[in-house]
Structure 1
Amino acid sequence: MTSYTTSSFKAELNERGWRLTPQRETILKIFQDLPKGEHLSAEELYLRLQEESNISISLSTIYRTLKLMSRLGILRELEFGEGHKHYELNQPQPYHHHHLICVKCNKTIEFKNDSILKIGAKTAKKEGYHLLDCQLTIHAICPSCQRALLPV
């Protein structure tokens, strides 16, 4: 897994015959500047771009760009059980992490477990695959929501 810069993103796109458009560069920059642990949906990214950017990007362009960046391994596509996907920059170790999500309140905890990544990398290598991402998402009920479910 590589940490992506604008130049590495541009090189990867050029290799496939695509261009680094101002829209793609702006979206990459937003994800590079996200605080650790923050994830964005396409709609949240759209709102942020409207507030912070002087570049107009349609929601359909955002969806296509997020899908492209996920396929390239630049972004991690995350399912938090909310009916839509979230995205974050795909960071190499030691920042690689997994998610524990409460199915009641959607509280999300990030955690590290190197054995999960090692198993994923070993399996991919054995089968001749190039690993882009390895993630574990655990859906559970947090202690607060468990207490709320108990009869009084």
Structure 2
Amino acid sequence: MPPYTSASLKSELNARGWRLTPQREKILQIFQNLSQGTHLSAEELHNLLDARGEGISLSTIYRSVKLMARMGILRELELAEGHKHYELNHPHPHHHHHLVCIQCNKTLEFNNDSILKQSLRQCEKEGFQLIDCQLTVMAVCPEAIRMGWPSALPSNWACTRSISERHA
């Protein structure tokens, strides 16, 4: 799957009977310009667009990211925060998976070609076309374990990492 441009998104949307709205184009541009490893929730995307003076409603953002995820442009991720996050769906070799701490939500990306290869083999066997392959491993980070997770971890404990690290 090639990286998406505004022109390729427009072409694919038109082929499906939809159109490339200015809002969809701005959302794509945000994801294209994110640093690798950054995942955004719809709310975070809304706040980012709002800070840039873009008047895109949260409901439009929800509909747009869902549509782009169904098309395979964005990856919809189930991380530990209790709501979905999104990232640009880069083709192989940038394909990756996620290791998520259920206590502090720290998310690390990792590569594993055997997961992708097995997924491709299964798709070929069944006549499917692979859109995305993702494995999310839910775990507990070393800091939470050192602090006594689960029973001795204070109820008000917060990981000492900065907020910016949590989505990196």
Shorter-chain TM-score bucket reads: over 0.9
Report the secondary structure of 1:149's partner residue.
Answer: coil
- CA RMSD between the two structures: 1.4
Structure 1 runs, 4 residues or longer, greater than 2 Å off: none
Q: Which runs of 5+ in 2 are unaligned?
A: 153-168
Q: Following TM superposition, by how much is the alpha carbon of 1:26 offset from its aligned partner in structure 2, in angstroms? A: 0.3
1:15-51 per-position Cα deviation (integer Å, ceiling 9, x unaligned): 0111000000000000000001000000000000011
Q: Which amino acid aligns with 1:83?
A: G
Partner of 1:64: 63
Partner of 2:45: 45
Structural mapping, 1:3-152, within 5 Å: 3-52=3-52, 54-149=53-148
Q: Following TM superposition, by how much is the alpha carbon of 1:135 offset from its aligned partner in structure 2, in angstroms? A: 0.3
Find the aligned partners of 2:127 and 2:54 in 1 and give their Cα distance: 40
Q: Which runs of 5+ in 1 are unaligned?
A: none
Q: Which amino acid aligns with 1:44?
A: E
TM-score by length of 2: 0.86
Find the aligned partners of 2:113 and 2:2 in 1 and give their Cα distance: 16
Aligned residues: 151
Report the secondary structure of 1:88's partner residue.
Answer: strand
Find the aligned partners of 2:28 and 2:127 in 1 and give their Cα distance: 29
Identity of aligned residues (%): 63
